[in-house]
Structure 1
């Protein structure tokens, strides 16, 4: 049985850890509110922009011929992996990394074997994971969350689109956690480039519209903007999901610390009772020895 000092030290250590996890839970809850508001405001805008693109593009030859829609034989692939900068958020980062690894193995095995799968990391944890596995990782946008804004994500989107147009990549996949609620995050995998057929509204019935400026100019403007918004939405989803995951993880850690404290206090009381009993027995034995003399 451990001595009283060891148990007291463990109680003090667990109690200190519990205070830290409580504080981290409160910080995550405060950040979650703002992140949740941001993504709830972004979703309707992204949906409406996509709907507008479908309506304008329906049946338009200029939309079909847009370079961002051109599908070509896939030799080089870019994975945009959206994770967090820090841990202590449960399986949040590992779920994204595992989904990316699974997609690479299932869909891009030949490209992987040829060394033609690159990673663009938004969030440090994804970059660290793939760098350890000898993938070529672009770390340029890992500090996105420290200054999260559309202008920062737009730079990443511009770089991705330029690389696709130049032929450096034939396909671009985005993997991120979608925010559902505080306790639930859903891993999403979306093809960013080339733009899938269903996103240009082939089946949409085109109405009688008057275009100003021309239809060609509108589509030329809308498609790059929709791609930037799509990436920005993925980052905002991941940001909200991260704080929800961390809040849940810290809540569970606080509860576990409380349960551990309860067991340690029981152990301490038992050890203390055993020590007192031993002392009483020693006193009684000494008294009896003196009486016998």
Structure 2
């Protein structure tokens, strides 16, 4: 009887330790969500500036290098953002399945760069041609070095600004739900993309003019556009990952609370049963002793 009671005590102690870990991870996930959401909001003003600059350059008749080339038959690349760590529910499965379905509808065999070990394994098991894998950044400050690595390695296999098509896949945070998978065609910057930018209205009555090096200015703005697109995709993926982890920790915390309630109930019933048996033995012994006297 005492061994069973001790066993229950050990289970209760282990559950409480696990509960402490879950609450810590829950707090970290909640704080991380705010960081990445703030970075996306802060990026919006910068993107607006770059968008207006591109609109001015394209209005003045300058065209991006991609618009002068045919983008048919070029190589296809994809960048898929996932996670390195677990405890994120269906986060990696959702984005991996979405990327696999989308890439299956494209001609040829695309090369895929995965951000995150777990999504890399999922895509590799599906038979996709994996071109590389990157570690998931653990802070907002670590996103910029990651983007630089992606650009360097991708340019080593396919030249940005050529005939290639490059797609981004990541989970996007949602207010009503946790997140949803989305995709973006990053390259080429074709005529449709340029026509949409020329329709962006200038905020004042006086239109600006780019002097001297218009092609160089356009190339610089395009580089910033690519950087912003990659940065935003990574930040939104990280916000979605932590939202998924927060939801998973909330479910785990609820399960642990139910387990502790069950263990405490079993422990108290066992203790009461043990006490009742001891009292019964005392009473029985007293009665037997009284009869002998």
Coarse TM-score class (shorter-chain normalised): 0.7 to 0.9
Q: Secondary structure at the match of 2:72?
A: coil
* Kept after mapping to 2: 8 A contact 1:76/1:168: no
Match of 2:113 among 117, 120, 124: 120
Distance 2:12 2:115 in 1: 39
- Residue number among 150, 170, 181 corresponding to 1:187 in the alignment: 181
2:15 pairs with 1:14: yes
Separation of aligned partners in 1, 2:68 and 2:9? 66
Taking structure 1 as reference, are residues 205 and 172 closer, same or farther at Cα in structure 2, changes over 3 Å only? closer
Listed as ranges, the gaps of 5+ residues in structure 1 are: none
Structure 1 position 231, deviation (Å): 0.8
Q: Which moved more, 1:122-131 or 1:173-182?
A: 173-182
Q: What's the C-alpha RMSD, in Å, of the aligned pairs? A: 3.5
Equivalent residue for 1:270? 269
How many residue pairs match? The answer is 285
My pick for the range that moved more, 91-100 or 71-80, is 71-80
CA distance in 1, matches of 2:57, 2:261: 64
Larger mean CA deviation between 205-214 and 76-85 belongs to 205-214
Contact 1:80 1:175 survives alignment (8 Å)? yes
Q: Does 1:132 align with 2:125?
A: yes
Unaligned runs of 5+ in 2: none
* Matched residue SS, 1:62: coil
Task: Please give the alpha-carbon distance, in whole angstroms, between the structure 1 residues aligned to 2:181 and 2:121.
Answer: 19
Matches within 5 A, 1:46-125: 46-58=47-59, 60=61, 62-63=63-64, 66-67=65-66, 70-74=69-73, 76-105=75-104, 107-108=105-106, 111=108, 116-125=109-118
Question: What TM-score do the two structures reach when normalised by structure 1?
Answer: 0.80
Q: How is 1:1-293 mapped onto 2 (pairs within 5 angstroms)?
A: 3-58=4-59, 60=61, 62-63=63-64, 66-67=65-66, 70-74=69-73, 76-105=75-104, 107-108=105-106, 111=108, 116-142=109-135, 144-145=137-138, 148-161=142-155, 163-165=157-159, 170-180=164-174, 184-195=178-189, 197-202=191-196, 204=199, 209-281=208-280
Work out the CA distance in 2 between the residues paired with 1:167 and 1:199. 14
Distance 1:172 1:96 in 2: 17
Deviations 1:202-250 (A, max 9, x none): 4627985422234333222222321122111111222233233323332
Residue range with higher mean Cα deviation, 216-225 or 270-279: 270-279
Distance 2:163 2:219 in 1: 21
Q: Distance in 2 between matches of 1:197 and 1:251?
A: 47
Return the TM-score normalized by structure 2: 0.80
Deviation (angstroms), 1:139 = 3.6
Matched-pair contact (CA < 8 Å) for 1:79–1:119? yes
